[in-house]
Amino acid sequence: MACTTILVGKKASYDGSTMIARNDDGFFDEKKLIVVDPKKQPKKYKSVIGHLEIELPENPMRYTSTPSVSDKNGIWAANGINEANVAMTATETITSNPLVLGADPYVKYVKAEKRGEKDKAGGLGEEDLVVLVIPYIRSAREGVERLGSLLEKYGTYEPNGIAFSDADEIWWLETIGGHHWIARRVRDEEYVIMPNQFGIDKFDFKDAFGAKKEYMCSADLKEFIRENHLDLNNDGTFNPRNVFGSHSDSDHVYNTPRAWFMGRYFNPTSYRWDGENADFKPESDNIPWSFVPERKITPEDVKYILSSYYQGTPYNPYSSVNHPEKGIYRTIGIGRTGVMAILQIRGYMPKEIQALEWISFGSNAFNASLPVYANIDKMPKYLSNVTLDVSTENFYWSSRLIGALADPYYGSAIQLIERYQAAVANGGHRLVHEYDAKMKDTGDFSLIEKANEELCDMAKKETVKCLNQVLLNASKGMKNNYNRADN
């Protein structure tokens, strides 16, 4: 699945929290936000795509999940925060190359062709990872360790990047071929940008096979690289992106422009991003994996950048100027997004209310981001009661409708959208501040359920208002409109 990820270290964020966020860019997948009760976590997991059966540990924890409404292709949980305030987003589809895949092929499901033969199970994939990992880990580091051991044992049938976070740390893991992996800790003062490419551009093997302070990897990675002549670096340093990533022309229209725009937004004066003498251009292969931002990053910044479509550049597909390069690059905020979640862990708050999940459905360019408390037994029906049929009674379908109505009439609708997005963000912050104070002062954390219901009531009110407005706006633009004065 083509997605975009941003990771924000605690010293790079506005309040000292960690934030990990990802656009889950399926093909208009119907999504919902639910809480998985430990009693409903399976003892034996069987994947739909890989046909793989795995025995799961005892004593799983409760966790949030944003699964597909239809389970015919599997769960696809996408994001989650467990009751230990550990978050996970999975996965960012990344890239690889023939040298890697020739040495360690993906583990694909193979159906038996002859009578008496058995099917050959495939490996793990995006369908599976959140369910297999998030209920059993108590830190971001433990997430890397558990997922790494699963990859080494079962393999994977696709290339993926996965993020884990807790109140103190963020870790990013990338798969390498069928059974290998590499992981790097996000430094507290930095943010990371990931646009569907193999991303890690620096690695310290001494640390990975020693203290594991900032780097980890599969046990035989050094031998794997050496025996298969994978190290393409020529300057004495080890850049994993050069070794394990892709080197294709399509990266320059699909992937690197997104990294360019994200870096340009958070570090506008640190580098030259435009013109002939730019340090980095939209098609540059060497845009860094991580940066120190010029100012602290807020949830609204994360939402904006994951909603963006090259505003202020010649590449904006909605521009009224008919520039020859208009629309040539794949946007970050794309039409087919199912869900985007900003998973925020606030280490300075009581553990019961540390975790906030900012949830958006549908195309981020036109939707709003709503915060809810994650450490709870159930989510409001406005987020969880989503069916395959269109309905204005839930956040998912209402968001999809707003996007579909606003997109064709962008010029007249964008002001309505911006007001809507601001209203939900303003109301979200106001209610979170209000309930944070109440729960800290009283110690009554049962108020979380009331807080989430009130947050959803606010969002529904603003969403209905916006839907009314964009529907009227679109109706005025219908091609069969005709007045008697038009003749």
Instruction: Tell me how far CA of residue 223 lies from CA of 40, 202, 219, 349, in angstroms.
Output: 41, 18, 9, 44
Amino acid at the residue 228:
N
Q: What strands lie across the sheet with 370-373, from one edge to the other?
A: 290-291, 191-194, 4-8, 18-24, 339-345, 355-361, 370-373
Considering only CA atoms, give the Rg of the chain: 23
Cβ neighbours of residue 210 closer than 8 Å, sequence gap 6 or more? none
Cβ neighbours of residue 417 closer than 8 Å, sequence gap 6 or more? 365, 366, 402, 406, 466, 470
Catalytic entry in 3, 217, 456, 466: 3
Catalytic residue flag (residue 3): yes
Cα 237 to Cα 472: distance, rounded to the nearest angstrom: 59
Element (H, E) at 262: helix 256-266
Residue burial 258-268, b: 16+ Cβ < 10 Å; e: rest: bbbbbbbbbbe
Cβ neighbours of residue 148 closer than 8 Å, sequence gap 6 or more? 173, 181, 183, 216, 217, 218
Cα atoms in the 13 Å half-sphere on the side-chain side of 395: 34
Q: Catalytic amino acids?
A: 3
